[in-house]
Amino acid sequence: MPELPEVETVRAGLADHSLGRPVQAVRVLDARSLRRHLPGPAHFEAALTGRALRGAYRRGKYLWLTLSEPDGALADEALVVHLGMSGQLLVRDEPGSELDNDSGDETEARAAFDEQPRHLRVALELGPAGATSAAGATGSMASTSRESTGQRLLFVDQRIFGGMFLSPLVPDVPAAVAANKAAVGEVAPGEVPERFLVPEAVKHIARDPLDEFFDPAAVRRKFLRTSSGIKKVLLDQSVISGVGNIYADEALWRARLHYAKPARTLSAAQTRDLLAAVTQVLRESLAAGGTSFDALYVNVLGESGYFERSLNAYGRAGEPCHRCAEAGRTSLIVREPFQNRSSYRCPHCQRAPRSR
């Protein structure tokens, strides 16, 4: 399942390629991908058409696009996208006038643009970026020639565990801002900046370690309130978001912690080291474009990430632990069952809790 680095890679791609474009038409090819949009496909199509893509945001594994009304005002709802197990958001730029009409370039480009990917569920027909784009959008307006042509934004999902839906925007001002400890003066009375608005359906999701307002002390307090194994807690999106099976195993390997160690038994130093490991793993994976074990995860241009080449634990059962090998020891990574999934660890570096 795509985790934070993969979703952030997609969000950044949308910010670079699609913001400021008006939605000219919507095609719903499979209503199952709109099962969380309770009013149905017809409402979904009508609600998006005529609005423009304004900003691209993410929290944990959820991403959303804020919308502009035709007059440029911020719409009161956002387009939420969850990639599920196999979801992809792909952009297809309409061929521009720079192509040589006397060669086969235009024909090939048009064929590529019109090609319908297998498992296409929803398609947004976008117009050129222009006056309908709103102020305050995430990222800057591009100035390349592609901005003067149309574009298609395609939601492709083989397993249909993901989906798209509209959700009302609600305030979610960080505690530090609300207490005037940060961003003083940014929140005027009765006004909430766009970056402090989240879809109502996403508000319960905790902030992730790459969020500027992530609060390690609050996470530590949640650890101390539960005897659940630390990996189970890391996967709880109401405690810390964006971490899935792959990056939990990688962070636990770096922090030398067994996945079943009760969260409340972690010392303050262990908690600090673990959160630092989680942050480091996520940043490194993001720099590599995410982790792609198969063709299901790609960025908006259809390109795979390559962080799987840097994994130390996940997927390496039977292979030597890198840390032990550097220390002159022989220890092989083991794979163990974990909540209908698998956990990977080094039996020397990550010893099981004594209580077990």
Q: Residue 5 corresponds to which tokens in the numbers above?
A: 């680095």
* Size of the chain, expressed as the number of residues it contains: 356
In one-letter notation, the amino acid at residue 55 is: G
Secondary structure string (H, E, C) spanning the chain: CCCHHHHHHHHHHHHHHCCCCEEEEEEECCHHHHCCCCCCHHHHHHHHCCCEEEEEEEECCEEEEEEECCCCCEEEEEEEEECCCCEEEEEEECCCCCCCCCCCHHHHHHHHHHCCCCCEEEEEEECCCCCCCCCCCCCCCCCCHHHHCCEEEEEEECCCCCEEEEEEEEECCCHHHHCCCCCCCCCCCCCCCHHHEEEHHHCCCCCCCCCCCCCHHHHHHHHHCCCCEHHHHHCCCCCCCCCCHHHHHHHHHHHCCCCCCEHHHCCHHHHHHHHHHHHHHHHHHHHCCCCCCCCCCCCCCCCCCCHHHHCCCCCCCCCECHHHHHCCCCCECEEEEECCEEEEECCCCCCCCCCC
**Cα 76 from Cα 169, distance rounded (Å):** 6
Least Cα distance to 266 among 251, 280, 279, 285 occurs for 251
**Cα 124 from Cα 39, distance rounded (Å):** 18
Return the active site residues.
2-3, 61, 341
Q: Do 133 and 42 touch, CB atoms closer than 8 A? A: no
